[in-house]
Structure 1
Amino acid sequence: MPQNPAVPCPPQAAPALLARWLLAAGAASLLLRLWIAATFPMSGDEAFFYWWGVYPDWGYSDHPPMVGWLIALMRATLGDSTLVVRLPAVLLPLGLGAALWWALKRLDPLRAAWAVLLFWLAPLNWLYALITTDTPLIFWSVLSAAALMRAEQRARLDRAAYGLYALSGVFLGCAFLSKYFSVVLGLTYLVYFAAYRRERLAGLGLLVACALPGPAINLAYNLSHGWSNIMFNVYNRNQDAAFELRKPLLYAGMMAYLVTPAALWLAVKYRRALWAAAQSQRLLACLVVVPLVFFALLSAKKVIGLHWVLSFYPFGFAYLAFALPAQRLKACAIGLGVFAGLHAAVVAGLYLTTLDTWRSAKIYPQIVRSLKTAEILQQASSPGVVLMADSYTAASIYGFERRQYMPVFGPGKFHARQDDMLVDFSLYQGRALRIITPDQPLLEEFAPYFKTLVVRSFVQDGVPFYLVDGTQFNYPAYRSGVLGAAFRQFYNIPAW
Structure 2
Amino acid sequence: MNAPISQPLIRLLLWTGVLSLLVRTWIGATFPITGDEAYFYWWGVYPDWGYYDHPPMAGWAIAAMLKVFGDSTFAMRIPALLLPTALGAALWWGFSDIDREKTAWAVLLFWLTPINWLNALITTDTPLIFWSVLSICALVRAEQRTQLDRTTYGLHALSGLFLGLAFLSKYFAVVIGLAYFVYFVAFRRARLLGFVLLVLAALPGPIINLWWNMGHGWANIMFNVYNRNQGEVFEWHKPALYLLTWAYLLTPGFLWFAWKGRNVMTAFARKHPLLITLVVIPFAFFALIAGKKVVGLHWVLNFYPLFFVWLAFALPSEQVKRCSTWLAVFLSAHLIAVASMYCTQLSDWKNAKIYPEIVRSYRTEELLAKVQASDTVLMATSYTPASIYGQTLKTYVPVFGEGSFHARQDDLLVNFADFDGKTVRIIGFSQPNLEDYRAYFDSVSLITVSQNDVQFYAVEGKNFKWTVYRDTVLKNIFAKRHQIPSWLPMTGCPFCQHYCGEVRCTN
TM range (shorter): over 0.9
Partner of 2:400: 409
Structural mapping, 1:368-447, within 5 Å: 368-447=359-438
Q: CA deviation at 1:12?
A: 8.9
Measured on the aligned residues, the alpha-carbon RMSD in Å equals: 1.2
Pick from 325, 338, 346: which aligns with 1:334? 325
- Answering whether residue 355 of structure 2 is matched by residue 359 of structure 1, we say no
Q: CA deviation at 1:384?
A: 1.4
The one-character-per-residue Cα deviations of 1:143-168 (angstroms, maximum 9, x if unpaired) are: 00010001101111100011101110
Which amino acid in structure 2 is aligned with residue 343 of structure 1? Answer: H
SS in 2 for 1:77: helix
Partner of 2:134: 143
- Answering whether residue 304 of structure 2 is matched by residue 304 of structure 1, we say no
Q: CA deviation at 1:17?
A: 0.5
The one-character-per-residue Cα deviations of 1:239-298 (angstroms, maximum 9, x if unpaired) are: 121111111111111111111011100000000111011122221111111111111111
Structural mapping, 1:212-251, within 5 Å: 212-251=203-242
Q: Give the whole-Å Cα distance in 1 for the aligned partners of 2:166 and 2:105.
A: 26
The one-character-per-residue Cα deviations of 1:91-137 (angstroms, maximum 9, x if unpaired) are: 00000000000000111111111111111111110011100000000
Q: Give the whole-Å Cα distance in 2 for the aligned partners of 1:116 and 1:427.
A: 53
Q: Give the whole-Å Cα distance in 2 for the aligned partners of 1:373 and 1:424.
A: 26
Q: Give the whole-Å Cα distance in 1 for the aligned partners of 2:384 and 2:176.
A: 30
Q: Determine if contact 1:438/1:464 at 8 Å carries over to the other structure.
A: yes
SS in 1 for 2:147: coil
TM-score (norm 1): 0.96
Partner of 2:450: 459
Which amino acid in structure 2 is aligned with residue 287 of structure 1? Answer: L
- Answering whether residue 503 of structure 2 is matched by residue 483 of structure 1, we say no
Q: Determine if contact 1:136/1:175 at 8 Å carries over to the other structure.
A: yes
Partner of 1:472: 463
Q: Give the whole-Å Cα distance in 1 for the aligned partners of 2:338 and 2:277.
A: 34
- Answering whether residue 186 of structure 2 is matched by residue 192 of structure 1, we say no
Pick from 423, 440, 443: which aligns with 1:449? 440
Q: Give the whole-Å Cα distance in 1 for the aligned partners of 2:437 and 2:164.
A: 45
Partner of 1:101: 92
Q: CA deviation at 1:87?
A: 0.5
SS in 2 for 1:457: strand
Q: Give the whole-Å Cα distance in 2 for the aligned partners of 1:175 and 1:447.
A: 46
Q: Give the whole-Å Cα distance in 2 for the aligned partners of 1:488 and 1:35.
A: 45
Q: CA deviation at 1:326?
A: 2.0
Q: CA deviation at 1:329?
A: 1.2
- Answering whether residue 168 of structure 2 is matched by residue 168 of structure 1, we say no
Q: Determine if contact 2:242/2:294 at 8 Å carries over to the other structure.
A: yes
Q: Give the whole-Å Cα distance in 1 for the aligned partners of 2:119 and 2:90.
A: 18
Which amino acid in structure 1 is aligned with residue 417 of structure 2? Answer: S
Q: Give the whole-Å Cα distance in 1 for the aligned partners of 2:305 and 2:24.
A: 18
Identical amino acids, percent of aligned pairs: 57
Q: Determine if contact 2:3/2:101 at 8 Å carries over to the other structure.
A: no
Q: CA deviation at 1:319?
A: 0.9
Higher mean C-alpha deviation, range 99-108 or range 356-365: 356-365
Matched pairs, number: 486
Q: Give the whole-Å Cα distance in 1 for the aligned partners of 2:144 and 2:134.
A: 15
Q: CA deviation at 1:14?
A: 6.3
Q: Give the whole-Å Cα distance in 2 for the aligned partners of 1:86 and 1:459.
A: 31
Partner of 1:45: 36
Distance 1:13 1:345, change over 3 A: farther
- Answering whether residue 80 of structure 2 is matched by residue 66 of structure 1, we say no
Partner of 1:274: 265
Q: CA deviation at 1:207?
A: 0.3
Partner of 1:34: 25
Which amino acid in structure 1 is aligned with residue 200 of structure 2? Answer: A
Q: CA deviation at 1:57?
A: 0.5
Partner of 1:5: none
Q: Give the whole-Å Cα distance in 2 for the aligned partners of 1:431 and 1:264.
A: 60
Distance 1:12 1:218, change over 3 A: closer
Q: CA deviation at 1:495?
A: 3.8
Pick from 80, 88, 103: which aligns with 2:79? 88
Q: Give the whole-Å Cα distance in 1 for the aligned partners of 2:282 and 2:5.
A: 33
Q: Give the whole-Å Cα distance in 2 for the aligned partners of 1:285 and 1:89.
A: 27
Which amino acid in structure 1 is aligned with residue 413 of structure 2? Answer: L
Partner of 2:246: 255
Which amino acid in structure 1 is aligned with residue 334 of structure 2? Answer: H
Which amino acid in structure 1 is aligned with residue 468 of structure 2? Answer: A
Which amino acid in structure 2 is aligned with residue 150 of structure 1? Answer: R
SS in 2 for 1:468: strand
Q: CA deviation at 1:423?
A: 1.1
Pick from 265, 282, 285: which aligns with 1:291? 282
Partner of 1:113: 104
Q: Give the whole-Å Cα distance in 2 for the aligned partners of 1:15 and 1:194.
A: 39
SS in 1 for 2:304: helix
Q: Determine if contact 1:49/1:68 at 8 Å carries over to the other structure.
A: yes
Q: Determine if contact 1:273/1:325 at 8 Å carries over to the other structure.
A: no
Q: Give the whole-Å Cα distance in 2 for the aligned partners of 1:176 and 1:14.
A: 35
Which amino acid in structure 2 is aligned with residue 395 of structure 1? Answer: A
TM-score (norm 2): 0.94
